[in-house]
Amino acid sequence: MARKVVNRKELRAQADAAEAREKAGGKKEKPAKEKAAKETVAKEPKKAAAKKPTRKKVAKEARLKAYWGVFNPAMKRLVLFEYADKKAAEKKAADLTASSRAQHFIQLVKEAIAE
C-alpha cells in the first residue's frame, strides 16, 4: 500500500502562516478535530490507580556445616567425619582401598544444620 508523500515545504508554509495570524490576532484557533478529541478525553472516567506490587519474602538461607565423606567409586558415601578429622578420613579411605580392589576417596560434604 502506497503512502501519501508529505510535502515539508507546504507544511512549513502553513505553520508560518499560523504563527503570523497568531501574532496579528493575539489568539490561536484550534482545529475542530482537536477540540472534539479533547472533549471526549475529558468525559472519560479516571482509571483506578494500579495496585503496587508487593515484595516477595526472600527465603532464609540455611546454614551449612562442612564434613569429610569417604566415598566408593559409585559415589556412595560410606563414612562421615567432622571437618577437623581430615587425617582420620584419609586413613579410613586408605584402609578401605587396601581391603578391596575399589579405589575409595574423600570429598568435602556440606550439610544443612537443623536448628
Listed by start position, the domains of the chain span 64-112
User: What span, in angstroms and rounded, lies between the C-alpha atoms of 18 and 9?
Assistant: 14
Statement: residue 3 has pLDDT above 60 = yes
Least confident of 8-12, 67-71, 91-95: 8-12
| 95's grid cell | 584402609
Q: Which residue has the higher pLDDT, 108 or 28?
A: 108
Q: Please determine, for residue 49, whether its predicted confidence score (pLDDT) is greater than 90.
A: no
> Longest C-alpha distance within the chain, in Å?
110
What pLDDT band is residue 44 in, cutting at 50, 70 and 90? low
pTM over 0.75: no
Of 111 and 49, the structure prediction assigns the larger pLDDT to 111
Mean pLDDT, residues 54-78 taken together:
91
Confidence of residue 93 (pLDDT cuts 50, 70, 90): very high
In the predicted model, what is the mean pLDDT of residues 73-89?
Answer: 95
What average pLDDT is seen over the chain? Answer: 84
CB atoms under 10 Å from CB of 94, counted, come to: 14
Position 39 scores a pLDDT of 56
